[in-house]
Each structure stands twice: as structure tokens, then as C-alpha cells.
Structure 1
Amino acid sequence: MAQPNAWFRSSLSSSDTYVRSRNKLRSVCLESFTHFLFTLIENAKLYKLDPYEYLRCIFDQAPFCESEKDFEKLLPWNIKITEFNEEGTWKTDA
């Protein structure tokens, strides 16, 4: 007959493995996002843009992109940095 402790130890090890694999996935995702963010910052610098303003424009405009052409407008060589209103709306060039 199997000892109750053996089942308990095996269930702990499988849940421990799950937790370790989940934490590894989080660290990989965080590492990938960090690389992505630093790539955006370095590209902004390369194209003589203020990194803060570039990231602000990207993160404000990206949710409204519907096509690949819209996303291409956010590239550092295509983007037009605009002022930002306190209310959260973009000023128009009028």
C-alpha cells in the first residue's frame, strides 16, 4: 500500500513545477518587453526624437491603429510628434 506522504510529496512537486514554469514565463515576458522598450528608446534617439515624447505618442496612438499602414505611421522615421492636451486629446494642426 502506498504511503500517504508519497502522494502528498508528488502533488507538491507537480505544483512546485507549475509555479516555477509560470514564473519563468513571466520573466521571459518581462525580458522581452524590456528589450522591446529599449529598442523603441534607442530608435527614437537615433532619429533625433525625445524618447519620452516618442513613447508617449506611440502608447497614446497605438490603441487606435487598425491597419499595418496605421502602425507604420508610428515608426520613428514617419511619426509626427504632436503636443498633448491635459484632457487627453490631441491638438490639431489648424
Structure 2
Amino acid sequence: MSEFVIQFRKPYKFEGKEYKEVDLSGIETLSTKDLIDADKQFNTSGQMAIMNEMTTGYSCIIASKASGKPIEFFESLPAGEGLKVKNRVMGFLNA
């Protein structure tokens, strides 16, 4: 299994579908343009940070781009699962 597949502790329901995991392996194929677009999206959302890549909001944007799932999928995750996503995204961006 890929290091970018995040297993949920318990099934997560989103828009009538149940998920046991989310695959973020698309993060490896993101381009610098994707990161620039994520910065713009983060800034226009009203969020602010000294280092965008250290925030939960920015991690949700990157996870959305990597997985093809809407950002709302990640914003609605239980906090513990959201932190798993944030840590995996931050680990990749700061490697």
C-alpha cells in the first residue's frame, strides 16, 4: 500500500458515500503551478499564515488537488483524520 493512502479509523460518510481511506498519491505528480494555485486559493479564502504549508487549510487544498476530491471532503473529516492528512501533506512538502 502506498504511503499516501490514509486509512480512516472508522468509515467516513461524505455526500452519501462511505470511505474507509483516501488516496493522496497524486501529490507526487503535482507541479509547481499546482502549488502556486493552492497558494492563491488559500489566500483568497481569507486564511493567513507565515508558512502556508504548515496550516490545516492549505493541507486540505493540496489533498484535494492530489486526490481529485472536493476540498469539502477534507474540511468535513473528523479532526483526527484531518490531522493525519495534514501531517502526510506537510511531510511530503517539507521532505
Structure with bigger gyration radius: 1
Tell me whether the two structures share a fold, i.e. TM-score over 0.5. Answer: no
More strand by share: 2
More helix by share: 1
Q: Normalising by structure 1, what TM-score?
A: 0.27
Name the structure, 1 or 2, with higher relative contact order (CA <8 Å, separation 6+).
2
